[in-house]
Structure 1
Amino acid sequence: GRVPPVPVARPVGAAGGALSGTARRALGLRLPPALVLGWHKAFSRRPRSLASVARLTLPLLLIVVAMSAWTTIDRFHSSPEQVGLPAALSVRVDSGPSGRNALAVLERDPQVAAAYPGAQVAALVPGQTATIALRGLGTGREPYPFVLAEGDRPRGRDEAVAGQGLLDLLDARVGDWVRVTVGEQPQILHIVGRSIEPENAGRVISTSLDTLRENDPVLGPTLYQLRLRPGADPREVAGRLTAAGQGHLDVHTVANPADGLSPLRAVITGLIAVLALIGLIELLTVIGGTVREGERDLLALKAIGLSPRQITAVTVTATGCTVLAAALAATAVGTPFARWLIDAQGASSGIGAGIARGPSPALLALFAAAAVLGASALAALPASRAARRRLADTLSAVA
């Protein structure tokens, strides 16, 4: 009574065809037939297989991009010395006698690893009315540890490094000579590197304090950049130095641009959750299609002696292979795409390219493994139910 009096062929997917040479050789090597048939089932129908992989790849790729953004923000907090912030504290001194002894006061603190004297002046560049920041940091004997994304550190006379914002402003690049004016004194500098500059929209050119003194011999240090020892608390050290300076030292922590980006972590978390939900819906669609396509092969698989557990393993393997291909494609394409996207944003803001940091290989491997294992677990229940269907039900489904 369940079979129609005139059987009508139902529309089904395109046949997968005979086993490929690779699948036959794998069976010849006595690999588990469920794994071989599942792999063949996942990739034998090229157009449909590619469409399934592409639909799953898109949300996974966007998740990789979101993870890269999270890792980049975390890098600003955990390793500020790698993103243009080698100094944790900035100290401004007055011009009195106590200010001239500031270096001795700073180096006396046990948590201060190095104190770099410096000065910052406003300068003009040709064709511009707005000022840029000209900084002299460190000396020839103790150079400042600039964080470079390109080129070399300034070591010789008239050598300097510039931020991306300044290079864009002057339409210059590493290796060019630029002319800036401080008051009425011109200063010609050779840009030997591009530094990561979170301050002043990247419109900063930095050289050594010795180079600035060539034009102004009486110029003395008006600020000190302090690099602290590992594990030191910047706020605690700042309070101790302020008390030691007896009102002649203005100590404050160096502003981290990531402090204003901390709320983005909640946005990234929500975005990952939404993308995971989209990926789950696509995965359920793929599982449903794989189970329906496997119903017409059920009799053949039982005829060659596969048990219901092995038939279930065929569907689970097919789903796992599809998700694995999508995860590998998302990782391979998403990591460089995220790096390019973050660096492009950094270049447009003046900080400069070179700040992007992708997830670690271990995290990407864990992400791919979690996607494959989760997909396999979701496919196990419907595949098990389909493998245990009665023969009469199977005949009615394929009639």
Structure 2
Amino acid sequence: MSTAAAPPEIRPKDFLGLDHLLSDEERDMRDSVRAFVANEVVPYVGDWFEAGEVPVSELAPALGKLGVLGMHLEGYGCAGASATAYGLACLELEAGDSGIRSLVSVQGSLAMYAIWRWGSEDQKQEWLPRMAAGEAIGCFGLTEPDAGSDPGAMRTRARRDGADWILHGQKMWITNGSVADVAVVWAMTDDGVRGFVVPKDTPGFTTQDIHKKLSLRASVTSELLLDDVRLPASAALPEATSLRGPLSCLNEARFGIVFGAVGAARACYEAALDYALERMAFGRPIAATQIQQAKLAKMALQVNQATLLALHLGRMKDEGLLRPEHVSMGKLGNVDAALDVARSARQVLGANGVTLEYPVIRHMNNLESVVTYEGTADVHALVVGGAVTGIQAFR
């Protein structure tokens, strides 16, 4: 009988040894993105958050060079990476800040994916290589002031005028809106929901930024205004003629959030662990107290559970087995867990937990947006509930 090898020592920041579930290629990619975030995001993001600004024009080309913009798409300058690899990139980006992961998600999983999946060959050739390189920024115009969870109620309309299309309406809460070179805008037509590629210099198309945010401050959030915007027939996405078009894009972005939320949770847990080991009270580190150890143990559990769920969904996607309902469960579970971790970590840090010297309050505020966008937690709960009961509660 052979003697089993001794198990490895516990690594507090990888408690279950989940690194061994990744291939060498996945680890190398993950480490490259992690290093980029450590060098190009973490030292500055607190200042960006406080100022409510982010240098998109500098970050986008750097992210393009890193290879993460549209990295899960094939061709047109895109890396053609696996879904799991893309998810791991999102995890590391959001460990820096949700706003940076949002920039990448909107670019690749919404704007680029819409063109890649539903666009014409001319549209793909015109936009995708530049967007993959970070030379052109995209945004995704679906949400409206009165149509968030119910996109079918959108009021933006597109009508025919000869061979052209005329778009009129308003979009709200659009990431990258004012810095985008191109917007993918969804509108109701006589034939159903259609998508349109709208360059930023099109007459009648304007943007204005949304200010006074207390969440996702290191991210550009805008309103899109379309005042009888005239577009040629070639601007329409030819393969998208129903809500299936935008919803397919949202599912791609939600998949990235499943992983991204893990990154935010991990960053909060690690900050709390490091702080608890260093902070002295009553002559010993606060990590020596039972109440703080209980908090850290639960945080470690939630981070590891969320990582396992994300990796499992990534493998399912790579095998062609992933359904939108699975993604809804992942977003619902992982964002809720990340919020719980962030709130616990904030308590461990005490007063320091509300300063931007530490990442926790920034992540906690950001997650209050993440739990709402790309489908609210309530809607995803209903999606999962409908899947397990066979009864659709919101229809």
Give the TM-score normalised by structure 1. Answer: 0.25
Structure number with greater CO (CA < 8 Å, separation at least 6) is 1
Give the TM-score normalised by structure 2. Answer: 0.25
Larger CA Rg, structure 1 vs 2 = 1
